[in-house]
Homo-oligomer: A and B are copies of this chain.
Amino acid sequence: MSAHVHHVRIYYEDTDLSGVVYHANYLKYFERAREHLLGSAELVRLYDEDGIGFVVYKIAMTFRDGARLGDELEIRTTVRAGSEYRAIFDQSAWRPGASRPLVEATLDLVCVDPQNKLVPLPETVRARIAAAAPE
């Protein structure tokens, strides 16, 4: 079973005065990884041409340890279709070689039309999810 891997470098901007990464920033790293997995060109096309936004609906997240300046994190992502309407992403942030992640999260994403009404996941997104899903 293979996860999609995206690398994130930790810079000054990511830290706070406690010396580790500000907790909200892991959501940015997870979102960057999802953009790479889904393709930002397709996300923009969906939004501009079809009026469909791909939005976060639910997050469950656990923090075990904090990343530090200069760390090169691995963001590991797997994705599955939770229903016709919902893509479920399991994502975690790892220091290379660590035995467990610093942070792990499950995020449910859905698609909405310009009136913020739920619409089924578009075919292109379903195809990308199917291609990315671990065997």
Residues of A within 8 A of B (CB): 9, 11-13, 15-20, 22-25, 27-28, 31-32, 35, 40-41, 43-44, 47, 53, 55-63, 65-66, 69-70, 116
Give the residue of B17, B27, B40, B65 whose beta carbon is less than 8 angstroms from that of A16: B17
Q: How far is the CA of A96 from the CA of B77 in the complex (A)?
A: 29
Q: Are B16's CB and A13's CB within 8 A?
A: yes
Q: Identify 8 residue pairs between A and B in the complex whose beta-carbon atoms are under 8 Å apart, listed by A's number.
A: A11-B28, A11-B31, A16-B16, A18-B55, A24-B25, A24-B27, A40-B69, A59-B60
Counting every copy of the chain, the complex holds 4
**Known contacts A59-B60, A65-B116; A13 and B24 CB within 8 A of each other:** yes
